[in-house]
Amino acid sequence: MNGTSFTRRHGSTLVEVLVAFNLLLLVLFGAASLCRVGNLLYHRINAESGCTETTSRALIRLGAVLYTALRVEMSQSTSSRLVVVLPRTDSTGSYIVPLEDGPVVTIYLGDDSGTPSDTGTILWRAVGGVPDRDWSLRGSRPVVALSPGGLCFRYPAVTTPTGVQVSVTATRWNGSQTCFATSTSEFFFRNAR
């Protein structure tokens, strides 16, 4: 060297600070994007599993009623309303043998008062024409809330069906989109005659 010496300065140059700042911004942006995607995925999965759980709960509750039915009252049943006749029971809850006609049960979607409604979402059971609040509501909240029009019954092409196919649909808003689930099950009447 020619005799000049450079003294080393402490600190960073402006270019180094800008590069470090841009790298920090890039890392923070990536972390924020990852958190956002994770949050959206969590809410979507939560909504989808909630819909599936709701449809499963509806089919389980319906199965408990339909399994014991004697028959469908076809003259009163529609694709959105099912009317079945249950066997008569004695004071202990045992069936009277030979099986006799007992209570008439109607399954439908209605509003919070139990009135059948096209826009209703609450799964109702009415016994003898009287809405059963204990079966359909827990306090003032529905036990099962489906989508409007989310209950559909299909009957085999016979005059006295011994079973019925039930489809239920539930929807949930997950914050960015509507998720839905539909479940279908066929129930056969144990006591059909």
The answer to whether the beta carbons of residues 141 and 160 sit under 8 Å apart is: no
**Residues ≥6 apart with Cβ < 8 Å to 34:** none
User: Mean pLDDT per segment of 10 residues, for the chain of length 193 residues?
Assistant: 68 85 92 87 79 89 91 91 93 88 93 82 92 89 88 84 90 79 90 76
What is the token pair recorded at 137?
A: 């509501």
> Range of 107's domain?
41-188
What's this model's pTM, rounded to 2 decimal places?
A: 0.77
Asked if residues 102 and 88 have their Cβ atoms less than 8 Å apart, the reply is yes
Whole-number Å distance between alpha carbons of 160 and 164: 11
Residue 142 lies in a domain: yes
Residue 122 lies inside a defined structural domain of this protein: yes
Question: Is 158 among the domain residues?
Answer: yes
Is 13 contained in some domain? no
Quote the number of domains for the chain: 1
